Amino acid sequence: MRVLVTGGAGFIGSHLCEALLHSGHTVYCLDNFDPFYAPGIKRANLANLIDKSEFTLLEGDILDVSFLNLLFSSYRLDQVIHLAAKAGVRPSLLEPGLYQRVNVEGTANILEQCRLHSVNKVIIASSSSVYGESKNIPFTESEGALKPISPYAASKLATEGLGFTYHHLYGMDVVMLRFFTVYGPRQRPDLAITKFANLISQGLPIPVYGDGSTARDYTCITDIVSGIMACTRRSFGYEIINLGESKTVTLKYLIELLEKNLGQKAKIEWLPLQPGDVPFTCADISKAALLLDYSPGTQIESGISSFLPWFNDNKSLLFPQPAPLCP
């Protein structure tokens, strides 16, 4: 099978490209190497793939329709897994228009190219952030009247609407995967686990917004990839599916795990809660279990233990030290 993975050089995308290649598929990895974080990190993510005969790296932007048309015309694709997006809740507050263009218009461009070039199967990354401050715990896909509380979350909810529209109008097979907080090797340097590990290891204070009681459904990258891979083997019509761990971890406990594994005590800078941040996430994964045989198997304790060796090996790439000043 010939699969296009957009955002394929990123955290989730690079792991997914590896899994697809391991399963015998031909992989086309599309990435624009956005400088949101150092492009060298993304290139390192692909270091073990770049020379494989069944892997092709395509550098381009999902907002460039001419480029996309050439790509889809040049390669006879069987499926598209669309992960490319502007990420992050807090940055979206500063550039809401950019988040709408990349995430919504970019998704529309991908879906339209699939229509024009008869690619009937599309898997699209959504986010648990679409649930906003829902009090219905755990979060279920059937919940109506969702109220996203950040431009990022709003953009992801809009992509779900686009996915349904293309299914309804053109019969495309579309699945929207609501990822809960994903962690593991290759996690972005701006995300809490990586950032906190760096600051704690240097003896620097970590910023904690609120009182540490906020909780997330942390989901290991291996479980997320297994869920995506299951989607490639099934047909759905149109479905929205949660991919999470279905257990919550408080920020306080996460910090305790990092302290234990790093052998260092965290210095904490207590700060007010931030606009756009949701206080709690927890996935109902019964639908994923039914449709995908999804069964996450990595607890946060073992997940953090397996993350830190990668972090220690790549710390200088993730957080390069400034060059010393010339005398």
Q: pLDDT per residue over 255-269, tens digit each?
A: 999 999 999 999 999
| Identity of the amino acid at 245 | E
183 as an active site residue: the answer is: no
Question: What is the CATH code of the structural domain delimited by 2-182+219-245+282-294?
Answer: 3.40.50.720
From 28, 131, 152, 218, active-site residue: 152
- pLDDT tens for 273-289 read 888 888 899 999 999 99
Categorize the per-residue pLDDT at 67 as very low, low, confident or very high, splitting at 50, 70 and 90: very high
In this structure, the number of other CB atoms found within 10 A of the CB of residue 137 comes to 12
**CA Rg value for the chain:** 19
Report how far residue 64's alpha carbon sits from residue 259's, in angstroms, rounded to the nearest whole number: 44
Across all residues in the chain, what is the average pLDDT? 95
Helices (H) and strands (E) in the chain, counts: 12, 13
- pLDDT tens for 122-147 read 999 999 999 999 999 999 999 988 99
In this structure, the number of other CB atoms found within 10 A of the CB of residue 325 comes to 5
Record the pTM. Answer: 0.96
